[in-house]
Amino acid sequence: GAVVSQHPSWVICKSGTSVKIECRSLDFQATTMFWYRQFPKQSLMLMATSNEGSKATYEQGVEKDKFLINHASLTLSTLTVTSAHPEDSSFYICSASGQGGGGYTFGSGTRLTVV
Amino acid sequence: GENVEQHPSTLSVQEGDSAVIKCTYSDSASNYFPWYKQELGKGSQLIIDIRSNVGEKKDQRIAVTLNKTAKHFSLHITETQPEDSAVYFCAARPASNYKLTFGKGTLLTVNP
């Protein structure tokens, strides 16, 4: 079946630094990528939606200059958390959808801790 | 926009019993309703989904029912096993876009 590889699975960084999270679709073309954020014991909150080759669409309240999304190819999307702060510590998950918007395949998530 | 309510937030059952998780949605235009299982510290895995043109779908021990009139759908797990313990999320998606709106999750604990 469809697989999305997300890396790293966890990362610890210092305040003020930037962190890049990658999601790769291994056996299908991800025309749309969704990036979610999940706080402990809460649901997945959609941060942004990106279509290959286009600028990402951010949900209300999500700073596009802080959470940079690149979806330059049909198999790779990246989320960069710039100038990270402790409040950015969270679980970030990507989800990819192929052509036609059928199913969604989730990555395994990245636990980001900013110290 | 869409709003999805999920209940209960926690559910504890004995091994072999059935578990039922219920969700309601607000947007009558939603036509796709997936259920995801999330184990601790991991991403979500699709376990079953249903589209608005059917009322019930079953896959071995897992079934989902949909009542479009009442705008609610439910996940049914029969003969529960300890490995079913996880957080389960329901979601709804309208026909107009591909965005999923998730419920807040249900922590299911199956006691051996």
Task: Check the CA dihedral A94-A103-A2-A71 and report its sign.
Answer: negative
Could you tell me if A34 lies within 8 Å of chain B, comparing CB atoms?
A: yes
Q: pLDDT, tens digit, for every residue of B15-50?
A: 999 999 999 999 999 999 999 998 876 778 889 999
pLDDT at A51 over 90: no
- State the pLDDT at residue B42: 74
Between CA A71 and CA A79 the distance in angstroms is: 9
Q: Considering just the CA atoms, what is the radius of gyration of chain B in Å?
A: 13
Contact A93, A36 (CB under 8 A): yes
Nearest CA to A96 out of A19, A52, A54, A33 is that of A33
* A92 alpha carbon, distance to own chain's centre: 6
3-state secondary structure of A84: coil
Scan for tokens 């990246």, then name that residue.
A78
Distances in Å between the Cα of B106 and the Cα atoms of A40, A83, A103, B48 are 13, 34, 22, 16
- State the pLDDT at residue A105: 85
B residues 16..35 contacting A (CB < 8 A):
34
Average the pLDDT over each of A97-101, B3-7, B46-50, B83-87 and give the range with the smallest value. Answer: A97-101
Between CA B32 and CA B48 the distance in angstroms is: 11
Indicate yes or no: CB of A97 within 8 angstroms of CB of B102.
no
3-state secondary structure of A64: coil
Between CA A67 and CA A58 the distance in angstroms is: 9
Contact B73, B65 (CB under 8 A): yes
Q: pLDDT, tens digit, for every residue of A83-104?
A: 999 999 999 999 988 765 557 8
3-state secondary structure of B83: helix
Which residues on A lie below 8 Å from B94 (Cβ)? none
Indicate yes or no: CB of B36 within 8 angstroms of CB of A109.
no
Contact B89, B24 (CB under 8 A): no
Tell how strand A10-13 and strand A110-114 pair up: parallel
Indicate yes or no: CB of B45 within 8 angstroms of CB of A106.
yes
Suggest the residue from A104, A110, A112, A113 to mutate for an interface test with chain B (most B CBs closer than 10 A): A104
* Bridge partners for A10 per DSSP: A111
Could you tell me if A54 lies within 8 Å of chain B, comparing CB atoms?
A: no
Could you tell me if A109 lies within 8 Å of chain B, comparing CB atoms?
A: yes
Which residues on A lie below 8 Å from B99 (Cβ)? 34, 46, 49
Indicate yes or no: CB of B99 within 8 angstroms of CB of A46.
yes
Could you tell me if B36 lies within 8 Å of chain A, comparing CB atoms?
A: yes
Could you tell me if B95 lies within 8 Å of chain A, comparing CB atoms?
A: no
Q: Is the peptide bond before A8 cis (omega within 30 degrees of 0)?
A: yes
If you measure CA to CA, which chain B residue comes closest to A90? Answer: B41
